[in-house]
Amino acid sequence: DVKVTQSSRYLVKRTGEKVFLECVQDMDHENMFWYRQDPGLGLRLIYFSYDVKMKEKGDIPEGYSVSREKKERFSLILESASTNQTSMYLCASRKTGGYAGELFFGEGSRLTVL
């Protein structure tokens, strides 16, 4: 069974802390995504990676960075967490670029910043 795993399901951090959200997929997918989900706003793309060490900014990249050193792993980094980054973060992957194939999602990481 295909799987996207987000290692931290629930995190509580303090303002100013550095936060790492990890995502691993076992499907050998080239493309990986980080979305933020907030009630009434749907899913908003933070960053996209089309291959190892390759990334594109999404719609809301401010305050976030990403790292993709290996094909299966895509990390989201909050350099200095703020309360307005309290949210649900969803990682997703898909097989290849060039067409809008289906996304496979992880179970999400719910981050609370105090």
Partner 1 sequence: AQSVTQPDIHITVSEGASLELRCNYSYGATPYLFWYVQSPGQGLQLLLKYFSGDTLVQGIKGFEAEFKRSQSSFNLRKPSVHWSDAAEYFCAVGAASGTYKYIFGTGTRLKVLA
Q: How far apart are CA 77 and CA 20, in angstroms?
A: 5
Residue where the block lists tokens 């793309």: 45
Nearer to partner 1, 65 or 80 (CB): 65
Is there binding between residue 28 and partner 1 (CB under 8 A)?
Answer: no
Is there binding between residue 90 and partner 1 (CB under 8 A)?
Answer: yes
Q: How far apart are CA 65 and CA 68, in angstroms?
A: 10
By three-state DSSP, how is residue 38 classified?
strand
Is there binding between residue 50 and partner 1 (CB under 8 A)?
Answer: yes
Which segment (14-22, 40-48, 62-70, 75-83) binds partner 1 by CB under 8 A?
40-48
Cβ pair 82, 15 in contact under 8 A: yes
By three-state DSSP, how is residue 84 classified?
helix
Q: How far is the CB of 64 from partner 1 (least distance, A)?
A: 16
Is there binding between residue 11 and partner 1 (CB under 8 A)?
Answer: no
Residues within the interface to partner 1 (CB under 8 A): 4, 6, 31, 33, 40-43, 45, 48, 50, 56, 90, 92, 97-108, 110
